[in-house]
A and B are shown apart, each in its own frame.
Chain A
Amino acid sequence: MEVTTPKRSGTRTEVADLYRAEGPRIWRALFASTRDREVANDAVAEAFAQCIRRGDAVREPRAWVWRAAFRIAAGELQRRGALDDLPPDLPVTEPEIDRVMPALASLTARQRTVVVLRYYAGYKPSEIAVILGTSAPTIRVHLMRARRRLAELLEEADET
């Protein structure tokens, strides 16, 4: 995975640079994972806000904001008690996205998250384990099942 961000967040300008480099990708990954724009908006804004507040205390800002954003989103979904209860309003966008999003929606919440972090964000299983606070073997199992299921769903979508 390409790493272009500074090691320390330092100034607000550097956090702004980090936002421009990573913010949209984090938001898309969160939205694909949660399918909830409000959760994605809130998690991204709060993660970067906390990164600004902590300044130099954040040693690896890029990894930190990814991790913080997913933690915030998971916390919010847990509070709602609806981890697998997807909002019904799919975005009306382009055909390619309308093909991918329903396929992702057919996975479990954890499968959706690991597959997005792996194949969209480009993280390794060991890195996903750190982001989600679990073990790499557990991530690999979720990933194996998610990959198989998602490939089947996309093949079906391709045929229709």
Chain B
Amino acid sequence: MRRDLTRDLQALDRLSVPDLLEDAERRALGPDPEHVPGPNPSRRRLVAASLAVAVVGLAIAGFVWLTDAFRSSPTPAEPLGSNYVFSNVTLEGSTLDGEAESFMIRFEVSWSDETPPGVHRCVFRLIDEKGAVVGVRVDWVLWEPSPNVAVDLPAVGDARPVSADARCDPERLDTPGIANIEESIVPIVDEEGRIEDFSEELNRRIDAWSQRFSIGSMSQDELAANVTALRDAFGSVPTDEPNADLDELIGRISRLCALVEPTVAVRSC
């Protein structure tokens, strides 16, 4: 029986919480200290004063190192080392409303040969009109082939990036093999059309539910997904999105996994 973690974590509601609204309003009345989110002003000043020299030095050294490391690459859109391919890389402005320092890199992901890349450490960079790196984000990623992927990151100071790129380390960090990603929260539509949250009680009424994406051991065109879908008494197919129909669900999973023929079983509950 799957454990109901939602119920377990409801215990957090018993934590007493300080009233921070007055603090927020007081801060809002003061001058906007900086756009980049940070700690309270006094601590921010202290931290800034004590770390300014070191941060500036490290930042310059880091950007010089990164710029040098990537400058040697002949094709900026190609991955460095891994077989991930990032194409149609574009850059958008603020992703956090009103916060112009945050930028969104959008790109398409695929891979260049028959081997799914798996988990890699990747570096995403913002570049200004002079070619300087003005923002870096490092993340550990597991991409699926997808036409729409986005990563956001802040730029340094008032820098205005005009382009972006993404590269991944060659080292694969996961163990190749089948990885099952299960979606376990399954709302069901009740008689009045309301969405009923997944629960232990509901779990007992359902023999089996799984929406599994098997990845990691097959080639890009042969990725397979076994989909077991439930159709409730009213013909609705429960997913984590209300009112999704089975065709739409299969289509979405098919697009995700580049399926040719999904295996689908429809059951009643």
A residues adjacent to B (C-beta < 8 A): 12, 15-16, 19-20, 23-24, 27-29, 31-32, 39, 41-54, 57-60, 64, 67-68, 71-72, 75-76, 79, 91, 93-94, 96-97, 99-100, 115-116, 118-120, 122, 124, 133-135, 137-138, 140-141, 144, 147, 150-151, 154-155
Contact = CB atoms under 8 A, between A and B. Distances in A.
B223 interface: no
B141 A46 contact: no
- Would you call the interface of chain A mostly helix, strand, loop, or mixed? helix
A1 B74 CA distance: 46
Interface in B57-88: none
The 10 A-B residue pairs with the shortest CB-CB distance, nearest first, are: A49-B27, A48-B24, A72-B37, A52-B28, A57-B98, A54-B98, A45-B23, A120-B9, A96-B11, A151-B3
B96 A23 contact: no
Nearest to A151: B3
A119 B137 contact: no
Contacts of A20: 21
Interface stretch (B126-134, B148-156, B200-208, B227-235): B148-156
Given A58-B98, A75-B38, 12 more contacts: A32-B15, A42-B40, A45-B40, A50-B99, A52-B25, A64-B96, A97-B11, A119-B6, A135-B142, A137-B143, A147-B5, A151-B5
Contact of A133 (B18, B43, B153): B153
Given A24-B17, A135-B151, A138-B140, A19 B97 contact: no
B36 interface: yes
B53 to A, nearest CB: 15
Contact of B20 (A23, A39, A58, A59): A23
Interface in B80-109: 95-99
A53 B181 contact: no
Interface of B: 2-3, 5-6, 8-15, 17-18, 20-21, 23-28, 32, 36-40, 43, 47, 51, 95-99, 119, 137, 139-144, 149-153, 179-182, 184-185, 240
Contacts of B10: 120
Contacts of B184: 147
Given A19-B24, A46-B40, A124-B240, A100 B11 contact: yes
Given A72-B37, A72-B38, A155 B3 contact: yes
Given A45-B40, A46-B37, A97-B11, A59 B97 contact: yes
19 contacts: A16-B21, A32-B12, A45-B20, A46-B39, A54-B98, A75-B36, A75-B39, A93-B14, A93-B15, A99-B11, A100-B9, A119-B6, A119-B8, A137-B181, A138-B139, A141-B119, A147-B5, A151-B2, A151-B5
A150 B12 CA distance: 15
B36 to A, nearest CB: 7
B102 to A, nearest CB: 8
A28 B15 contact: yes
Given A16-B21, A48-B21, A49-B28, A119 B5 contact: yes
A155 B23 CA distance: 40
B125 to A, nearest CB: 15
Q: A27, A59, A155: which has the most chain B beta carbons within 10 Å?
A: A27
Contacts of B12: 28-29, 32, 97, 100, 116, 120
